Amino acid sequence: MNPEPTNPRTANRHETGDPSAILPVIGERDLPPGRHQFHKERLMNRIHDDRRAAAPRNPFLRKAVFLPTALAGALAIGVLVLTPGGTPDAGDRATGPALTTTIGTADAYGAPRLLDRISLAAAGAEAPRPHADQYVYIETRSASTHVKTVGDVSTLVGVPLHTRQSWRSPDGRRGWLIEPGTTGPEGITLEGTDEKGNVPEPHLGAPSHDYLAALPTDPDALLRKIYEETEGQGNGKEQQAFTTIGDLLTESWPSPELTAALYRAAAKIPGVVTVDGATDAVGREGVAIARLDETSGQRTEWIFDDKTLTFLGERTVQVVGSGGEEGLIKPGTVVFTHAIMTRAFVDDIKVTPSGTAS
């Protein structure tokens, strides 16, 4: 199956804000395989344990938000079921076939030049500024593939394309999340404290808008900070640095200056390549900046419009060997695909840029 939906949304990313404001821009009830590990990782972020074991990263599982302590505790023991009110209830959304794609050809020499062009385009983007009492609204569309095991039988299944909406205050202390299969229809709060009753401080793995504004915009200094703060994580320092930059690009809204610096920092990471012909979750085609995780055989691709160089989204494709339980994830499988639809500043939780309640 192709990751593109039958009727893809082709609208460009909508990024709005108030320029007069004062802040700087910047069949089962268990979780499907992989989701428990994701939520466990987010719990670890909550208690400042960033030195995770070097295990293959599941890119379907995002680490963009802190979880309230009560919910995080439920996730830590492997139970997540969500009712319409946002409390723990059911379900495995993996009901479709695996997502597949044609593996694009990697160019080992084109990345520095393309990233230079992308960084210049990013630096010239508009820079709306939020009020302190506004929220960063991010709307994305995602789909994924994973191994589902029932009894002794494992199969490769797809989680259909769905919309994820998040609202975060600039300081990161207030927020809300709505995502089918992860929350109820009304969503869940992102406010909360750690096990000691403290409000967690933002960091590279879970940044706030204000935190991003304080990051260095010199590419060398920025890359050094990423290497230092992610030491011991992931499958090697270069792969983890590429992963961290990708998460910052997809799960937050960095300023044009920081975005450009992130691209220039990525150009300094060994193993970064270009890939032609990549397609995001909603069917938008473009060129990609990518890196192969040699441990998992999966290649993470950042997809850009080939004319405007606007960042469209990210996907991860199995390109070498077979992954997952019983080696069911074959080359050409789209493990995760994620398209950015909207990034804007809004006046309240559950309010969208159009002014309507979600």
Q: Over the stretch 60-75, which tens digit does the pLDDT of each residue have?
A: 334 434 444 434 433 3
- Tell how many helices (H) and how many strands (E) occur in the chain: 7, 11
Every domain of the chain and the residues it spans: 14-346
pLDDT score of 235 more than 70: yes
Spatial distance between the Cα atoms of 221 and 224, rounded to a whole number of angstroms: 5
Bridge partners of residue 140, in order along the sequence: 164, 340
Helix 69-76 / helix 35-46 crossing angle, nearest 10 deg: 140
Spatial distance between the Cα atoms of 281 and 40, rounded to a whole number of angstroms: 26
pLDDT score of 58 more than 50: no
Buried/exposed code over 79-111 (b: 16+ C-beta within 10 A; e: otherwise) = ebebeeebeeeebbbbeeebbbbebbebeeebb
In three-state secondary structure terms, 177 is strand
Buried/exposed code over 295-330 (b: 16+ C-beta within 10 A; e: otherwise) = ebbbbbbbbbbbeebbbbbbbbbbbeeebbeeebbe
- Confidence band (pLDDT; 50, 70, 90) for 326? confident
pLDDT score of 8 more than 90: no
Q: Can you say whether the dihedral through the CA atoms of 211, 245, 222, 235 is positive or negative? A: positive
Percentage of the residues of the chain whose pLDDT score is greater than 70: 72
Region 179-190: mean pLDDT is 91
Which residues are CB-neighbours of 45 under 8 A, at least 6 positions away?
63, 66, 200, 203, 205, 206
Residue type, 3: P
Q: What is the pLDDT of residues 73-131, one digit of tens each?
A: 333 333 333 333 333 333 456 667 889 999 999 999 999 999 999 999 999 998 788 78
Residue with tokens 């909603």: 282
Give Cα separations from 216 to 64, 223, 283 (angstroms). Answer: 20, 9, 34
- Quickly list H helices, 78-192: 111-123
